[in-house]
Chain A
Amino acid sequence: MNTTKLIIVAVGGQGNLLASKVLGEAALLSGVPVRMSEIHGMAQRGGVVESALVFGDGESTIISDGQADVFVSFEPAEALRALRKCQPRTVSIINLSPSPPFTVAIGRGVYPDIDEVIRLIKEKTSRLIAFDAVALASQAGSVMAVNMVLLGALAQTGVLPLPIENIRKAIETRTKQSFANINLNAFQLGFDAASKSI
């Protein structure tokens, strides 16, 4: 089967490794070949965490610049930084709630204007789904569920070759039991938000 390439970027601690794990398990449940790659180590030290997920046949576990079919960013400025991974037909899902790096606070950089982030990504890629995923996560019961909100939006796009039911099942079985309901709610809120976005 053809490959679908997904890039996820986040700031350490935002839970993108768990999001990748859920998608990997959903692929396993669906019998879809999957390979993932991520960089550990500095994640808890406030750095950027980038995960690559390749669904379908093949061998590579990483994704070259300009090759992502679908792109999820947990943070708006990081979306711009990682935009080199995208191509004109990439579908992007972006959390608009900013986590400015400390370099901004000490005056060593200017945080980009959010509207400008939206405009640039819209201009360069085929579809942008952008919303405040932190607000929806809080609504679902925990700010920690941003990852599940974004997974919901990702599922809505239909770009991944995974039945939505299997993603839900992976959330139920692979995230903490005490959080399963919050996570599923968050997933649904993200799904709905993406449905409303054009």
Chain B
Amino acid sequence: MHKLLTEKPGEKLLLLGNEAIARGAMEAGLAFAASYPGTPSSEISLNFFQIAQESDLYFEYSVNEKVSLEVAAAAANCGVRSMCVMKHVGLNVAADALMTLAYVGVKGGLVILTADDPYMFSSQNEQDNRYYGKLSGLPILEPSSVQEAKEMIKYAFDLSEDLQEPVIFRTTTRINHSTAVVELGEIVKPMAQGDFVKDPYNYVTVPAVSRNLHVTLLENMKVAQGIANNCRWNFLEGKGTLGIVCNGVSYAYVKDAVVELDLWDKVKILRMGFSHPVPDLMITDFLKTCTRVLVVEEGEPYMEEAVKVCAQEAGLTLPIQGKGHDLFSRLYEYDPMMVKKVMTSFFDIPFKAPEAIDLSNIPDIPGRPPTLCAGCSHRAVFYAVKQATQGMDVIHPSDIGCYTLGFLPPLSMGDFVICMGASTSTSAGFSKATGKKVLSFIGDSTFFHSGISGLINGVFNNHDFTLIILDNRITAMTGHQPNPGVDMDELNFPGYNRIDIEEVVRGLGVKHISVIKPYNLSKSVQTIKEALDYKGVSVIIAKEKCTLYAKSLKQLKGKSFEINQDKCKNHRDCITSIACPAFYLDGDQVKINATQCTGCSVCAQICPEKAIRPVKIS
């Protein structure tokens, strides 16, 4: 049985934040969930996917976040408790649905989980999704700990049903990827089957209907604000006159500082867990008892602005600060010592930071950036493109996935990356604006996610670029989630269909389509040259399973390679041109780590001395 389906209320388990959230949803009777995977939220979806195999939960990996929200929104409007899980930037994709869904509302509880990533551990930006609460008018809940995340998810479904509105559940990486001891509650059996009651004057958002629905949304916001002013997620601690307003993980750092410095009689904390609409009355009452207020929040000054508005409306003039010089930054994530230092300096509390060790004589450590795996077929494609475009001035828009890493030297394949799917559309802009050759990259999952529309646009507007679809048959970067191109039968998940990328591309009207096997370098180079010669939109599909995925399926058949040291003349073309991590230097000699090498043979095809050969089994 799945660990998160353990039926022992009161039992304590060590759970990852994302597991605690998935468990909380089970305790809330979640019936229907949809997601597009994205770090740091991925394990929530993964657990739902696994749980769905052995329970009444319906779960799907949808093609993108907008689709997943729409799928879940319909289910919720049939009265079943639904959830939609995504990373922060996913909500940008789903925003179109979100904004008007807020007008329409829901019948069954709908919780939209968005995982922000301060410091951008694995994201292209660190946007603060609390502003989506303001933008859409929907309530926002944000937990401060793993245990609280589990409890708050349950509440989120109740709140959603009380308000008949979706609820945004906002986490940050340090909630998703922290682990703590969590006490289990009771699992509630989901009400899996719903029904849709037609009500076009509340569901079909033509202008005349929406004019009424916006009124309802504003009324709901008022009700939500009343709840925020009186709910257990917004609470006070301490009895001093130095006020601290905080949320999420910042609360943990503030509380530890208060305990360690023994400040409970000096400091009073307002912890905001229900942060949109802001608990205005509570904030105003809090401000009236304070002489000075510090707002501690990672990201944007969302609460700071709200607190200042409350002060202005109440005619209060006490100092309220958060972001600023010598205070907190809008950049990156916070940590306990940083919070302790800012707090003590802002409140003029004596504090001597502990002695640090001297790092001045530590030598520079060679970088260890994330890199494409040994044997990754993306490397082979990038190398082939480099060969095929030698002496040419080519722009390479790329996209979001493992292959984004191709921008690093020595491959240096990737000139412009902004968001999922943008490779296909930016190709058009670069080509038109410069008149130069454009060859772009996109992965299979990203192509289905949002690359298709840019390709259609390219064909319709008669643009001139070559797109390489790196079809590694899985959503690799986020941990091997299925996408519409995956062979689900091979994974023993019957009941799915498979969409063939080549047929899709042909159906979109692309006239020049070719398929390459990336490990065959000379053929790949030839095919790429032909595509570049074609005037118009050409597509190359590079087909090779992700090596990690193939390994997990026990399909990696290649034997590892070695270097014949008698033949090797130490040109080092192998290392310097493809930088496969299976290579290492033993003194002056180039060697191949046999446990890492997958036998892709790409280096053997590059070596001018033909010194790289399969390991002979004696």
> In the complex the two chains form, is A36's CB within 8 Å of B363's CB?
no
> In the complex the two chains form, is B252's CB within 8 Å of A41's CB?
no
Q: At the interface, yes or no: A46 with Cβ under 8 Å from chain B? A: yes
State which of A28, A36, A101, A120 has its C-beta within 8 Å of the C-beta of B178.
A36
Q: At the interface, yes or no: B231 with Cβ under 8 Å from chain A? A: no
Q: In the complex, which residues 213-249 of chain B have their Cβ closer than 8 Å to any Cβ of chain A?
A: 249
Complex contacts, B575 vs chain A, CB 8 Å: 105-106
> In the complex the two chains form, is A39's CB within 8 Å of B177's CB?
yes
Q: At the interface, yes or no: B418 with Cβ under 8 Å from chain A? A: no
> In the complex the two chains form, is A66's CB within 8 Å of B337's CB?
yes
User: Known contacts being A46-B581, A64-B335, A124-B358, is A41 close to B121, with CB within 8 Å?
Assistant: yes
Q: At the interface, yes or no: A40 with Cβ under 8 Å from chain B? A: yes
A-B contact count (CB 8 A): 178
> In the complex the two chains form, is B371's CB within 8 Å of A45's CB?
yes
State which of B179, B252, B365 has its C-beta within 8 Å of the C-beta of A80.
B365
Determine the distance from Cα of A65 to Cα of B405 in the docked complex, in whole angstroms: 28
Complex contacts, B259 vs chain A, CB 8 Å: 57-58
> In the complex the two chains form, is B181's CB within 8 Å of A34's CB?
yes
Q: In the complex, which residues 48-68 of chain A have their Cβ closer than 8 Å to any Cβ of chain B?
A: 48, 57-67
Determine the distance from Cα of A110 to Cα of B346 in the docked complex, in whole angstroms: 43
- Segment touching A, from B349-357, B441-449, B523-531: B349-357
State which of A60, A84, A106 has its C-beta within 8 Å of the C-beta of B359.
A84
Q: At the interface, yes or no: B251 with Cβ under 8 Å from chain A? A: yes
> In the complex the two chains form, is A11's CB within 8 Å of B337's CB?
no
Determine the distance from Cα of A100 to Cα of B586 in the docked complex, in whole angstroms: 11
User: Known contacts being A28-B12, A37-B174, A105-B585, is A64 close to B336, with CB within 8 Å?
Assistant: yes
State which of A35, A40, A84, A104 has its C-beta within 8 Å of the C-beta of B40.
A40
> In the complex the two chains form, is B39's CB within 8 Å of A40's CB?
yes
State which of A37, A45, A108 has its C-beta within 8 Å of the C-beta of B366.
A108
Closest to B373 in A: A45
Determine the distance from Cα of A73 to Cα of B266 in the docked complex, in whole angstroms: 40
Q: At the interface, yes or no: A176 with Cβ under 8 Å from chain B? A: no
Q: At the interface, yes or no: A15 with Cβ under 8 Å from chain B? A: no
Q: At the interface, yes or no: B253 with Cβ under 8 Å from chain A? A: yes
> In the complex the two chains form, is B338's CB within 8 Å of A64's CB?
yes
> In the complex the two chains form, is A61's CB within 8 Å of B337's CB?
no
Q: At the interface, yes or no: A77 with Cβ under 8 Å from chain B? A: yes
> In the complex the two chains form, is A35's CB within 8 Å of B362's CB?
no
State which of A24, A41, A64, A81 has its C-beta within 8 Å of the C-beta of B122.
A41
> In the complex the two chains form, is B364's CB within 8 Å of A109's CB?
yes
State which of B39, B179, B252, B364 has its C-beta within 8 Å of the C-beta of A24.
B179
User: Known contacts being A24-B14, A102-B583, A106-B410, is A59 close to B252, with CB within 8 Å?
Assistant: yes
Q: How many residues belonging to A are interface residues under a CB distance threshold of 8 Å? A: 60
Q: Mark B377-419, 1 if CB is under 8 A from A, else 0.
A: 0000000000000000000000000100100001000000000
Q: Mark A141-176, 1 if CB is under 8 A from B, else 0.
A: 000000000000000000000000000000000000
Minimal beta-carbon separation of B576 from chain A (angstroms): 6
User: Known contacts being A44-B548, A110-B366, is A61 close to B39, with CB within 8 Å?
Assistant: no
Q: At the interface, yes or no: A178 with Cβ under 8 Å from chain B? A: no
Complex contacts, B256 vs chain A, CB 8 Å: 58-60
> In the complex the two chains form, is B337's CB within 8 Å of A35's CB?
no
User: Known contacts being A45-B370, A59-B145, A110-B366, is A102 close to B174, with CB within 8 Å?
Assistant: no
Closest to A26 in B: B14
> In the complex the two chains form, is B173's CB within 8 Å of A39's CB?
yes
Q: In the complex, which residues 579-605 of chain B have their Cβ closer than 8 Å to any Cβ of chain A?
A: 579-581, 583-585, 590
Q: How many residues belonging to B are interface residues under a CB distance threshold of 8 Å? A: 64
Complex contacts, A101 vs chain B, CB 8 Å: 366-368
Closest to A40 in B: B177
Complex contacts, A77 vs chain B, CB 8 Å: 365-366
Determine the distance from Cα of A166 to Cα of B122 in the docked complex, in whole angstroms: 35
> In the complex the two chains form, is B367's CB within 8 Å of A60's CB?
no
Complex contacts, B180 vs chain A, CB 8 Å: 34-36, 61
> In the complex the two chains form, is B579's CB within 8 Å of A106's CB?
yes
Complex contacts, A132 vs chain B, CB 8 Å: none
Determine the distance from Cα of A85 to Cα of B405 in the docked complex, in whole angstroms: 28
> In the complex the two chains form, is B181's CB within 8 Å of A33's CB?
yes
> In the complex the two chains form, is B402's CB within 8 Å of A45's CB?
yes
> In the complex the two chains form, is B366's CB within 8 Å of A100's CB?
yes
Q: At the interface, yes or no: B372 with Cβ under 8 Å from chain A? A: yes
Complex contacts, A41 vs chain B, CB 8 Å: 39-40, 121-122, 477-478
> In the complex the two chains form, is A86's CB within 8 Å of B357's CB?
yes
Determine the distance from Cα of A42 to Cα of B477 in the docked complex, in whole angstroms: 8
Determine the distance from Cα of A62 to Cα of B366 in the docked complex, in whole angstroms: 25
State which of B144, B174, B364, B371 has its C-beta within 8 Å of the C-beta of A46.
B371
Minimal beta-carbon separation of B87 from chain A (angstroms): 10
> In the complex the two chains form, is B367's CB within 8 Å of A28's CB?
no
Complex contacts, A48 vs chain B, CB 8 Å: 368
Complex contacts, A120 vs chain B, CB 8 Å: 361-362
Closest to A52 in B: B178
Determine the distance from Cα of A24 to Cα of B12 in the docked complex, in whole angstroms: 12
Minimal beta-carbon separation of B6 from chain A (angstroms): 14
Determine the distance from Cα of A184 to Cα of B355 in the docked complex, in whole angstroms: 38
Residue among B337, B358, B478 with the most chain A CB within 10 A?
B337
> In the complex the two chains form, is B368's CB within 8 Å of A66's CB?
no
Closest to A32 in B: B181
Residue among A27, A36, A40, A67 with the most chain B CB within 10 A?
A40
Determine the distance from Cα of A81 to Cα of B40 in the docked complex, in whole angstroms: 24
Complex contacts, B335 vs chain A, CB 8 Å: 62-65
Other A-B pairs beyond A37-B179, A39-B177, A45-B405, 20, CB < 8 Å: A28-B14, A34-B14, A39-B122, A40-B122, A41-B478, A45-B372, A59-B144, A59-B251, A59-B256, A62-B336, A63-B336, A64-B336, A65-B356, A83-B359, A100-B585, A106-B579, A108-B366, A109-B365, A110-B363, A124-B357
Lowest 7 CB-CB distances: which A-B pairs, in order? A109-B366, A64-B337, A59-B252, A41-B122, A45-B370, A61-B178, A47-B370
A–B complex contacts, Cβ < 8 Å, 28 sampled: A21-B179, A28-B12, A34-B14, A35-B146, A35-B178, A35-B180, A36-B180, A41-B39, A41-B121, A58-B259, A59-B253, A60-B336, A67-B336, A78-B368, A81-B365, A83-B357, A83-B362, A86-B357, A87-B355, A87-B357, A88-B355, A100-B366, A102-B371, A102-B581, A103-B369, A104-B366, A109-B364, A109-B366
